[in-house]
Amino acid sequence: MAHIEVLTEDDRWTTAGLPALAEKACTAALSELSLDAEYEISLLACDDARVAELNTEFRGKPTPTNVLSWPSEERGAQLPGMIPSLPDGAPHELELGDIAVAFETCAREAEEADKPFEDHVTHLLVHGTLHLLGFDHTNDPDAALMEGLETRILAKLGIADPYRQ
């Protein structure tokens, strides 16, 4: 289960129903990994300009991106392609971290891929949640594991495989 605290800086996200999408996506990601405690995620619903600032500050990349995430603690896997050290529901592990999503980039990507906006955002929220849990895609084995999880989670939500062309 996920408790999502949404800070909305761009009202277009309210119109898009982001809180409900976030609850569905983040809970699905946690459920797929059998994480059933009341985990907490902070979600910043913003625009490209704000995400570009954050991307510059934290990654040294002065451009907007679709989603950013900041895990509350390092949970990465010991070896490429392995499941990271997942939280066990202990009180000190309930805060998973923060996610930020940029409206314009999400909307543009959905349109370019001819996908429903809600499906694309759901995918990005699943993706961001997996990053909070220590999953990554910096090498081929990790990317295969993460993409496989995303595809399975999204299929359970009735969303097509985002990696199939």
Q: Print pLDDT tens along the chain (165 aa).
A: 789 999 999 999 999 999 999 999 999 999 999 998 999 999 999 999 999 999 999 999 999 999 999 999 999 898 999 999 999 988 989 999 999 999 999 999 999 999 999 999 999 999 999 999 999 999 999 999 999 999 999 999 999 999 986
Closest alpha carbon to 159 in 132, 121, 129, 130: 121
Domain count across the chain: 1
Residue 53 lies in a domain: yes
- Asked if the structure places residue 59 within a domain, the reply is yes
The strand order across the sheet containing 95-102 reads: 2-8, 39-46, 95-102, 67-71
Q: How many CB atoms lie within 10 A of CB 23?
A: 18
Q: What are phi and psi of 54, to 5 degrees?
A: -65, -40
Looking at the domain assignment, is residue 164 inside a domain? Answer: no
User: 123, 68 in Cβ contact below 8 A?
Assistant: no
Is 127 annotated to bind ligand? yes
Domain span holding position 144: 2-156
Query: The domain spanning residue 7 has which CATH number?
Result: 3.40.390.30
Identify whether 132 is part of a domain: yes
pTM as predicted: 0.96
Query: Is 3 among the annotated ligand-binding positions?
Result: no
98 belongs to a structural domain: yes
Q: Is 120 annotated as a binding residue?
A: no
